[in-house]
Chains A and B, each alone.
Chain A
Amino acid sequence: MARLGFDERELQSRRAIFELHDEDLQRLTAIRAIAERHMAEVVDGFYALLLGHPGTRRFLTDDAQVARLKRTQSAYFLQLFDGRCDLPYVENRIRVGAVHERIGLAPKWYIAAYRRYLALLLERVVLDIPDRAEALAAYQSLKKIVAFDMSIAIDTYIAANLESLGRHQAAIRELSTPVIRVHERLLLLPLVGAIDSQRAQQVMEMVLVRVIEEKARAIIIDIAGVPVVDTKVADHLLKTTAAVKLIGAQTILTGISAQVARTIVQLGVDISSMHTLARLSEGIELGLELVGKRIAPKEPS
Chain B
Amino acid sequence: MGSLAFESQTLSSETMAIDREEDIVHVRKRARMLAQARGFDAFACAALTTAASELARNVWVHGGGGQATLEELSDGNRFGIRMVFRDQGPGIADLERALQGGYSTARSLGLGLSGTRRLVEDFAIDTRPGEGTRVTITKWTRF
Contacts and interface: CB of A to CB of B under 8 A. Distances in A.
Interface of A: 194, 196-197, 227-232, 234-235, 238, 257-260, 262-263, 266-269
Contacts of A266: 47, 115, 118-119
Give the residue among A231, A258, A260 with the most B Cβ atoms within 10 A: A231
B108 A232 contact: yes
A263 B28 contact: no
Given A259-B43, A267-B118, A234 B109 contact: yes
B68 to A, nearest CB: 15
Minimum-distance CB pairs A-B, first 3:
A267-B115, A259-B46, A230-B53
A263 B109 contact: no
Interface residues of B, number: 26
Given A194-B25, A263-B50, A267-B119, A231 B42 contact: no
5 contacts: A229-B50, A235-B108, A263-B119, A266-B47, A267-B111
Contact of A268 (B28, B46, B101): B101
Contacts of B45: 259
Contact of A228 (B42, B50, B108, B116): B50
Contacts of B109: 231, 234-235, 238, 269
B111 A269 contact: yes
B134 interface: no
Contacts of A227: 32, 49
In terms of DSSP, what is the predominant structure of the interface of chain B? helix
B43 A262 contact: yes
B99 to A, nearest CB: 12
B118 A259 contact: no
B54 interface: yes
Nearest to A197: B21
A229 to B, nearest CB: 7
Contact of B50 (A235, A238, A267): A267
A232 B50 CA distance: 10
A32 to B, nearest CB: 49
Give the residue among A196, A197, A260 with the most B Cβ atoms within 10 A: A196
A268 B112 contact: no
B46 A260 contact: yes
B95 to A, nearest CB: 17
A230 B54 contact: yes
A263 B53 contact: no
A262 B111 contact: no
Given A235-B109, A259-B42, A259-B43, A228 B49 contact: yes
A264 B54 CA distance: 12
A267 B101 CA distance: 9
Nearest to B112: A231
B22 interface: yes
Given A234-B109, A262-B46, A268 B115 contact: yes
Contacts of B21: 196-197
B114 interface: yes
Contacts of A258: 42-43
B12 to A, nearest CB: 23
Contacts of A197: 21
Nearest to B21: A196
Interface string B101-143: 1000000110110111011000000000000000000000000
B111 A268 contact: yes
Nearest to A260: B46
A166 B54 CA distance: 28
A41 to B, nearest CB: 51
B57 interface: yes
Contacts of B54: 230-232, 267
Nearest to B47: A263
A195 to B, nearest CB: 10
Contacts of B111: 231, 267-269
A257 B47 CA distance: 13
Give the residue among A227, A232, A234 with the most B Cβ atoms within 10 A: A232
